[in-house]
Amino acid sequence: MNGSIIIAAGGTGGHISPGVALAEVLSEKANAFGYESVYIHSLVRNQNNPDLLNPPCQVIWHNIPQLGGLKTIVYPFLFLFPFIKTILLFRKLKINAVIGMGGYSSLPAILYAILFRKPLYLCEQNCVPGKITRVFSKFAKKIAFSFPIVDSFQIPGKIIGNPIRKRVIPEHLNIRQNENLHEGKKNTINVLVLGGSQGARQLNQMILKTMENAEIASKYKFRLLTGTNLYDETKQKANDGTEIISYANDMKPNYEWANLVVARSGAGVVAECLVFGLPMILIPYPFAADNHQKANAEYLEKQGAAVTIHSTSDDPTPLVKFLLSWKDHSEVLREMGHISLALSNVNAAYQTVSYFFSDSN
């Protein structure tokens, strides 16, 4: 055996969820690829992340400081002590391969791989590669992309798809939520609104204002996941026709209920919508690093699986326009859903692991 594998998956849920999906596969298949075991390396502040409450393997917690602000000058000193602890622990656990999921929290594991000449593999979730991928791509043995990266970046790798956790994967992949709409068996179109775990006030307010349109209220039913911090204020403003939920640990029933999704365009949410064959209205978070959400949304819009609203306000006008145009033309949603499904890869986790650790790839 070649020791163990560490998956550096900290930071945001967009890094953690696909890392956990890879850990699910490797916890069962590590021996088949010549390794003894697999670990997840994540930040202490992620201990309450839903994906890490019941992880498929042991999680090693660390507390590497975030780079930025006034700490920049003294950062090397703040970084050094926890990094030395990481090295000693990794040596003890016989870590002989590193998978970096992106974000600053993956830096200790990546530097360990480089310093001790261990195989380094990188996963890039977005169409615009993150700084970790851009800086360390030349040290990586292989890089897996979730989506095609924008043309301005020349980074070698393989487009596979964003790894999906087992508990999110549909049980019946042949079920198409929007077939019944096209056949006229369903009068109501279910709209799932996702602002992320922290919520998005812009999306919440936009939906509430959209529902003031009588034509839309008569045709569309909304389920709004507000985010825990924004639940109370949104609930107070909502009318009786809106289903308000703060957060859902189990997203599968919500995706199965939906015919259409309104969401930010983070790679994780987008990938999950794709495997359920869902059309999307994407409202990119304008302050995302390198504006990567904009690039993700534009890729999906170009393919025909989504439409994009570029806005920083809660003005419902563009959303109302889309919904009214589809009110009597649900075949448009059906076709968008087919394209969405065609862009998905429900087996991305296994294929990524196979790509990394099979010599033939």
pLDDT above 70 (res 69): no
pLDDT at residue number 250: 86
Please give the torsion angle defined by the CA atoms of residues 230, 231, 235 and 241, in that order, rounded to the nearest 10 degrees: 110
pLDDT at residue number 202: 85
Give the per-residue SS3 of 265-291: CCHHHHHHHHHCCCCEEECCCCCCHHH
Distance of CA 108 to the CA centre of its chain: 22
- Mean pLDDT value of segment 314-319: 93
Residue in 262, 55, 265, 61 with CA at minimum distance from that of residue 167? 55
pLDDT at residue number 184: 47
Residue 266 and residue 288: Cα distance in Å, rounded? Answer: 9
Residue 159 and residue 144: Cα distance in Å, rounded? Answer: 6
Residue in 109, 52, 101 with CA at minimum distance from that of residue 82? 109
Return the biggest CA–CA distance within the chain: 65
Q: What is the pLDDT of residues 103-158, one digit of tens each?
A: 989 999 999 999 999 999 999 999 999 999 999 999 999 999 999 999 888 899 99
Annotated binding site for UDP-N-acetyl-alpha-D-glucosamine: 12-14, 126, 165, 197, 293
pLDDT at residue number 324: 95
At 320, is the pLDDT very low, low, confident or very high (cuts 50, 70, 90)? very high
> In the sheet that 220-225 helps form, which strands lie side by side, from edge to edge?
242-245, 220-225, 189-194, 260-263, 280-282, 306-308
Whether residue 143 contacts residue 121, with contact meaning beta carbons closer than 8 Å, is answered with: yes
pLDDT at residue number 177: 55
Q: What is the pLDDT of residues 151-189, one digit of tens each?
A: 888 899 999 999 999 999 987 765 555 555 544 456 789
Residue 58 and residue 166: Cα distance in Å, rounded? Answer: 17
Q: What is the pLDDT of residues 210-241, one digit of tens each?
A: 988 999 999 999 998 887 777 777 777 777 66
138 CB contacts (<8 Å, ≥6 apart)?
none
Annotated binding site: 12-14, 126, 165, 197, 293
pLDDT at residue number 299: 97
Domains of the chain: 4-168+346-357 (3.40.50.2000), 179-343 (3.40.50.2000)
pLDDT at residue number 361: 53
- Which of the two residues, 203 and 25, has the higher pLDDT score? 25
Pairing, β 260-263 against β 242-245: unpaired
Residue 51 and residue 272: Cα distance in Å, rounded? Answer: 15
- The mean pLDDT value of the chain amounts to 89
